[in-house]
Each structure stands twice: as structure tokens, then as C-alpha cells.
Amino acid sequence: MSKLQPSLISSSTTSRQHLLKVCGMRDADNIRAVEALGVDWMGFICWQGSARYVGEPPSYLPQRARRIGVFVNPTIEEVQSQVLALGLDIIQLHGSESATFCCEVHAATSLPIVKAFAIKQQSDLERTSEYVDCDYFLFDTPTPLIGGSGKQFDWSLLDAYDGRTPFLLSGGIGPDDAKRLRCYSHPRCIGFDVNSRFERSAALKDLEALHTFIQTLRSHP
């Protein structure tokens, strides 16, 4: 697997330094409107245990933003089915998938792999060394159950991450965090992942809040 494939990160994104991924999308009109705000990646949850589960392809799917399929301990066949149904560009594995399984998914789909990790303490970062063949990591907040918590973890824990795999910062990022994110710096951080704290209801994003957040995030200092 190759890191930072040019086709997946636009020139406008690299000039801004960080891309923005909006996860948990499902409603066609909302997808179209969120894409128009200039987001880079959109996440579609392909796990039936989620309130944001995409049971069938929306009537509109993003044409510019990259489509990310989010899976939790799937079978290879389940991933392949959703790749075809949603026209996915990237696979995100958010469960307890092994490094070997990540490689198998890549071999079966030829798509880049994002592996998610819950970070509670610095030692949690040690597990990433097993997954060096993944294209990206996503660092999230630990929860008792599978899925997002809407809460943040201590971002300073990532100061100890010295791996070469680029990552996205996730977990409870909300409308009031744009200025803080503008100041966040890590040599391997390529972007931010947002979801529940920008919702009016499950899988329906608040366009006004998201627009203000993006404007602030991408404004000049």
C-alpha cells in the first residue's frame, strides 16, 4: 500500500495542510450540500450496529469528495459488496481487525486502507507498529461500545507517535474547535474527522455549523 496517494489528496488540500473528513453521511440532499461546502472526504458507515448505517446507496453520492466506507469487523465479501454499491475510494476499518486482515482487504479491493485506533494512553500507540502496511491511521476516543463517543481524548498523547504512517485526528471534534485545530501541529497529521457534534439528527449534518467551522478552520491566521 502506498502512502499519501496524489489522487486521494487534492492540491487545494495540500496547500491547506489538513483535509477534512465528514463521517456518518446518508441523506442524499445533505450529502450534496455538505460536498458543496468543500469537504475532502465523506464517510459512509457500513456497519449495521450504527444509527448512521447506510442500508442502501443514497440517490446522490459525492462526485468530488472521496467516498470512505467505514466497517467494523467485516468479511472480505461484505467490503467488496459495499465497494461496488457505493463506489468507494477508501476503506476504513474501525473494529479489531488484524494487520493481516487489513492487507487482505487491500489485496481484494486495491483500495487504500485507514485503520482506526482508540487512544487512551501513550502505550496505545504501540499497536500501530503492527499496521505499517496501512495507508492511513485514524486516532479516536476510546468508548465502552463500538462507535464514536462525541468526546475528545488528550491530543497531546499523539506527541509520542513517531511512526511514518499519516493519520487523521478524530473523536468529539465540534464547532468550537476550529481555532484550536488551526493551531494543532504534528508532522504526520493530514486531516480531521468530524461527525456527531455537527448533527441535527443521526446522519443529518447541520450545514450552518459545518460551514462556519470550515470557514474558521481554513481562514488565514
192: domain CATH number is: 3.20.20.70
Domain-located, residue 6: no
Per-residue model confidence as pLDDT tens digits over 42-80 = 999 999 999 999 999 999 999 999 999 999 999 999 999
Domain-located, residue 77: yes
Domain-located, residue 2: no
Domain-located, residue 197: yes
Arithmetic mean of pLDDT, 209-213: 97
Helix axes 28-36, 207-217, angle to 10 degrees: 20
Measure the CA–CA gap between 25 and 58, rounded to whole angstroms: 9
Given a cut of 90, is residue 9 above it in pLDDT?
no
- pLDDT bracket for residue 3 (50, 70, 90): low
Given a cut of 80, is residue 15 above it in pLDDT?
no
Domain-located, residue 209: yes
Task: Fill in the DSSP letter of residue 51.
Answer: T
Number of domains comprising the chain: 1
Question: What count of other Cβ atoms lies within 10 Å of the Cβ of residue 11?
Answer: 8
Domain-located, residue 12: no
Given a cut of 70, is residue 179 above it in pLDDT?
yes
Q: Which of 214, 193, 203, 205 lies closest to 141 in space, CA to CA?
A: 193
Whether the CB-CB separation of 39 and 21 falls below 8 Å is answered with yes
The predicted pLDDT at position 94 comes to: 96
Q: What percent of the chain has pLDDT over 70?
A: 89
The predicted pLDDT at position 155 comes to: 96
Domain-located, residue 117: yes
Q: Which residue has the higher pLDDT, 40 or 8?
A: 40
Lowest mean pLDDT: which of 1-5, 126-130, 133-137?
Answer: 1-5
The predicted pLDDT at position 13 comes to: 44
Domain-located, residue 4: no
**What mean pLDDT, rounded, does the chain reach?**
92
Boundaries of domain holding 170:
17-217
Given a cut of 50, is residue 148 above it in pLDDT?
yes
- pLDDT bracket for residue 112 (50, 70, 90): very high
Measure the CA–CA gap between 150 and 212, rounded to whole angstroms: 19
